[in-house]
Amino acid sequence: MKLYTYSHCPFCSRVTYVAGKLGIKLEEVVLDYDDTETPTKLIGKKMVPILEKDDGTVMSESNDIISLFIELAGANEAIKPTEGAIEWQGGSFAPLLQIGLPRWPLLGLKEFKTESSRIAWEDKKQTTDLNFVQLIEDTANIVLQVNEFLIGTEKQLNISNGKTSLSLVDSAIYYSILRGLYCEPTITWPEQLNLWMNYQALESGVPLVK
Ligand SMILES: N[C@@H](CCC(=O)N[C@@H](CS)C(=O)NCC(=O)O)C(=O)O
């Protein structure tokens, strides 16, 4: 099976995370950020993740792909995320975008190798509220808020010795979003949360974004 992704994308990385944890083999194809043609041919719009199965059929939507993987692996795992994880995710996008938007294109990720892909990103993602130069200038303030957010997250996850009792799909949500914050080195990671994140990177094979 082939999975079309962007490396920075939280929806893609929760899929690769679950695949990694369940031992499902995937050929990952990281699309150029300005490649509109490939995803549009596959699903009629520019969106990833896209799963292309061995019989040539395609699927989008991370939740559906994850459910399929759990079924294929015959894993005794909850398919639905908990309310707690969904609510946390709702509050996580603002800090994630403030940190990630101006930084991810500068990290050498595969989707941003070309200048045209970085320009396409800026054209699509930069707004008056999320001005990239301003976001970088505001780093100190944003980092303070992110640090608070991470302290709350660590408490919520109830981590002990770098381990949690989260289900696979909840772990995928937390991991796929938090990994995107590692690109800002002045963020202070609470010790247990950082330990958990680093274990997840190792166990899933999905790297932190830095
Ligand atoms: N509901 C979709 C959301 C996927 C999504 O929003 N993907 C983003 C990347 S993180 C995307 O492809 N956006 C189009 C773009 O950036 O051009 C899912 O869960 O798979």
Query: How far does residue 49's CA lie from ligand 1's centre (Å)?
Result: 7
Query: Cα of 12 to ligand 1 centre, how many Å?
Result: 8
Q: Which atom of ligand 1 is nearest to the CA of 39?
A: 12
Query: What's the pLDDT score for residue 139?
Result: 98
What was the pLDDT predicted at 66?
98
pLDDT in tens, 168-206: 999 999 999 999 999 999 999 999 999 999 999 999 999
Over residues 136-147, mean pLDDT: 98
Q: Which atom of ligand 1 is nearest to the CA of 33?
A: 17
All structural domains of the chain:
2-73 (3.40.30.10), 83-204 (1.20.1050.10)
Give the pLDDT confidence score for residue 101 in this predicted structure: 98
What strand order describes the sheet that includes 58-60? 27-30, 2-5, 50-52, 58-60
Point out the ligand 1 atom lying closest to the alpha carbon of residue 49: 20
Tens digits of residue pLDDT in 69-93: 999 999 999 999 999 999 999 999 9
Considering just the CA atoms, what is the radius of gyration of the chain in Å?
A: 17
List all residues whose CB is within 6 A of at least one atom of ligand 1. Answer: 6, 9-11, 46-49, 60-63, 124
Backbone φ and ψ of 55, nearest 5° = -85, 5
The Å distance, Cα 161 to ligand 1 centre, comes to 33
Specify which residues 52 forms β-bridges with: 2, 58
> Which residue's alpha carbon is at the smallest distance from atom 11 of ligand 1?
47
Question: What whole-number percentage of the chain has pLDDT above 90?
Answer: 100
Dist. CA 97 → ligand 1 center (Å): 13
pLDDT band at 131, cuts 50/70/90?
very high
Q: Which atom of ligand 1 is nearest to the CA of 60?
A: 20
Q: What confidence score (pLDDT) does residue 119 get?
A: 98
Cα 76 from chain centroid (whole Å): 24
